[in-house]
Chains A and B, each alone.
Chain A
Amino acid sequence: MNGLRKFLDKIKPSFQKGGKFHFLHSTFDAFETFLFVPNKTTQRGAHIRDSIDLKRTMSIVIMALIPALLFGMYNVGYQYFKAIGQEAGFGEMFWFGFLKVIPIVIVSYVSGLTVEFIFAQVRHHEVNEGFLVSGMLIPLIMPVNIPLWMVSVATIFAVIFGKEVFGGTGMNVFNPALLARAFIFFAYPKHISGDMPWTYGLTEHIQTVDGFSGATPLANAASYAIDKIPDNWTLFIGLIPGSIGETSKAAILIGAFILLFTGVANWRVMLSVVLGGLFMGGIMNLFAVNPYMELSPITQLLMGGFMFGAVFMATDPVTAAQTNTGKYIFGFLVGVLALLIRVLNPAYPEGMMLAILLMNAFAPLIDHYVIQANIKRRMKRVKVSTNK
């Protein structure tokens, strides 16, 4: 490590002002701070400083995503061998899935970081760590069959139009990872809806074992094939077709525990999303007119990307509401809207993505009214005290 530090110190001057490679200084900064803890100290006055910075926040989220990623890899292999009716061991399944998932991860990181670095250079900003999480989230919410160039195009689109136009990390209105998925969802709908995309290697030409359809529980529910939906336990464990990282609620809950334990994600959002989902699911049960609406709220929460969205997407500290009251409202509406879109609109089987993106747009409004209400309440107190 010492040698690395020495090397960095040696080449540092040429990246500083006046140096030969000054135009690349943000690239250098990015790598330096990635390898070593930034050694910035406050110049003046006493400040209470917590050593948690953006980098550590992001690393913790990545750690929380690892269980879902690993399970996703295993599940890709599991679904494939199940579809073609072959016996395979755990290692074989995992390795198969690993080989299919890793390219998507690499493409997502390479294309996203390229855009990030270019923008940082042009604007003379530091390269932020924001994309580390987005780059991991994007593969996890893609179907495994997605062509790699689509992942790349969607990622570039999402980073430019979801993030850089608003000013980069921390300024974005929409969750970039969800934007990437929404881009594919609308631009190449064939690849993300329907029955085939969810299991690797399945096309119309490949013979599958009898009884294996490859459709996700959500797709089954949308076509009222309720008896094809696995029981809650299978849904919870996650050996079902679906996006790479969102099938296993068990893995997601481990991630949620890490996020909550380290205080990185906000429990208010997670809790209220789940409550919103349960509430809407309950209401739908009361007014059920079709088999989809009769599904129990618990099953609804276990299907599709609901839990993944609740834990990793809705809690995004940048795009969620900022005030505590606002977080309850934001999360609750996400849960309600997700089920509404999912059940009542047959064109959009996955409501969670659209619900979160929609509420992202409304988060600043929610905050505004929460703050206004707060000011009003306090102003009342002021008047009362002056009247006396």
Chain B
Amino acid sequence: MSNIKEKEPLFSAKIAKTFLGPLNLNNPITVQILGICSSLAVTVQLKPALIMALSVTIVTGFSNLIISIMRNSIPSRIRIIVQLVVIATLVIIVDQALKAYVYDVSKKLSVFVGLIITNCILMGRLEAYAMANKPWPSFVDGIGNGIGYGMILVIVAFFRELLGSGKILGMSVIPDSFYQAGYENNGLMILPPMALVTIGVIIWIHRSWKKSLIEK
């Protein structure tokens, strides 16, 4: 009985690393380049981006948790299908909740909430982490990845809404005197190409900050 592992504390250094990794050195968007499509599409305004970030965080967290609980009883041949069913169920719940409480935002997000199912981050985390780890670390990993994704989404959306429509969360922040002096909103910021450029700039800054990320 002596070889039973000591129970790990709920907030150990390892858990902290699991949580903080995806926020910085292992960020799903800027380092793993996953989940780009939705980040291009839903970042025109800040509010949908926040909701999207929240939805993805919930789905990654709970799908990781559920799959991790079931991991020993899932036959490896059909694991992808099981994972998909779990994700799809959670996405439907999130979608219904959005429709019930923030209908206008859910209309703006349109297909992208449904398409969380195909977000590469989800399957990636389930395969890479939840299938091999205990429920609590898996849950933390899922939340961490969701926040890492959401963080970039919010940064991109902040700049796109600010420069593209002169607003933050729907409120005008650029004073009228600027417009009278000849300032104009940048229409390109509203178009998807500029989201790609913005993400590119974030990756650029990230890599010049953390030199270890630069590939040789």
Judge if A186 is at the interface, Cβ distance under 8 Å.
yes
Q: Please state if B191 and A186 are interface contacts (CB–CB under 8 Å).
A: yes
Contacts of A189 in B (CB 8 A): 187
Judge if B172 is at the interface, Cβ distance under 8 Å.
no
Judge if B104 is at the interface, Cβ distance under 8 Å.
no
User: A147 vs B191: C-alpha distance in the bound complex, in angstroms?
Assistant: 22
Most A C-beta atoms less than 10 A away, residue of B183, B187, B188: B188
Q: Please state if B186 and A188 are interface contacts (CB–CB under 8 Å).
A: yes
A-facing mask of B169-195, CB < 8 A → 1, else 0?
000000000000011101111010000
Interface residues of B in 45-63 (CB under 8 A from A): none
A-facing mask of B191-203, CB < 8 A → 1, else 0?
1000001001000
Contacts of B200 in A (CB 8 A): 165
B160 to chain A, nearest CB (A): 12
Q: Please state if A186 and B187 are interface contacts (CB–CB under 8 Å).
A: yes
Q: A161-B197, A165-B204 are in contact. Are A186 and B188 (CB under 8 A)?
A: yes
Q: Please state if B182 and A187 are interface contacts (CB–CB under 8 Å).
A: no
Q: Please state if B184 and A188 are interface contacts (CB–CB under 8 Å).
A: yes
Judge if A183 is at the interface, Cβ distance under 8 Å.
yes
User: A190 vs B184: C-alpha distance in the bound complex, in angstroms?
Assistant: 10
Q: Please state if A187 and B204 are interface contacts (CB–CB under 8 Å).
A: no
Contacts of A31 in B (CB 8 A): none
A125 to chain B, nearest CB (A): 16
Q: Please state if B189 and A187 are interface contacts (CB–CB under 8 Å).
A: yes
Q: Please state if A147 and B197 are interface contacts (CB–CB under 8 Å).
A: no
Instruction: Give the contact-size bracket for chain B.
Output: 10 to 19
B187's nearest neighbour on chain A, judged by CB, is A187
Judge if A224 is at the interface, Cβ distance under 8 Å.
no
A171 to chain B, nearest CB (A): 16
User: A161 vs B187: C-alpha distance in the bound complex, in angstroms?
Assistant: 17
Q: How many residues of A contact B (CB 8 A)?
A: 11
Judge if A233 is at the interface, Cβ distance under 8 Å.
no
Q: Please state if A187 and B186 are interface contacts (CB–CB under 8 Å).
A: yes
User: A108 vs B191: C-alpha distance in the bound complex, in angstroms?
Assistant: 25
A187's nearest neighbour on chain B, judged by CB, is B188
Judge if A149 is at the interface, Cβ distance under 8 Å.
yes
User: A388 vs B209: C-alpha distance in the bound complex, in angstroms?
Assistant: 62
Interface residues of A in 170-221 (CB under 8 A from B): 183, 186-190
B162 to chain A, nearest CB (A): 14
User: A187 vs B189: C-alpha distance in the bound complex, in angstroms?
Assistant: 7
Q: Please state if A147 and B182 are interface contacts (CB–CB under 8 Å).
A: yes
User: A149 vs B182: C-alpha distance in the bound complex, in angstroms?
Assistant: 9
User: A110 vs B61: C-alpha distance in the bound complex, in angstroms?
Assistant: 50
Contacts of A161 in B (CB 8 A): 197
Q: A161-B197, A165-B204 are in contact. Are A183 and B182 (CB under 8 A)?
A: no
Q: Please state if B188 and A183 are interface contacts (CB–CB under 8 Å).
A: yes
Contacts of B197 in A (CB 8 A): 161
B173 to chain A, nearest CB (A): 19
Contacts of A186 in B (CB 8 A): 187-188, 191
User: A121 vs B193: C-alpha distance in the bound complex, in angstroms?
Assistant: 29
Contacts of B183 in A (CB 8 A): 149
User: A149 vs B186: C-alpha distance in the bound complex, in angstroms?
Assistant: 12
A147's nearest neighbour on chain B, judged by CB, is B182
User: A147 vs B186: C-alpha distance in the bound complex, in angstroms?
Assistant: 13
Interface residues of A in 72-117 (CB under 8 A from B): none
A160's nearest neighbour on chain B, judged by CB, is B201
Contacts of B191 in A (CB 8 A): 186
User: A161 vs B186: C-alpha distance in the bound complex, in angstroms?
Assistant: 16
- If A188-B186, A189-B187 are given as contacts, then 13 extra A-B residue pairs at C-beta distance below 8 Å, sorted by A number, are A147-B182, A149-B182, A149-B183, A165-B200, A183-B188, A186-B187, A186-B188, A187-B186, A187-B187, A187-B188, A187-B189, A188-B184, A188-B187
- State the B residues within 8 Å of A (CB): 182-184, 186-189, 191, 197, 200, 204
Listed by A's residue number, 16 A-B pairs whose Cβ atoms lie within 8 Å are A147-B182, A149-B182, A149-B183, A150-B184, A161-B197, A165-B204, A183-B188, A186-B187, A186-B188, A186-B191, A187-B186, A187-B187, A187-B188, A188-B184, A188-B187, A189-B187
The 7 closest A-B pairs by CB, nearest first: A187-B188, A186-B188, A187-B186, A187-B187, A147-B182, A188-B184, A189-B187
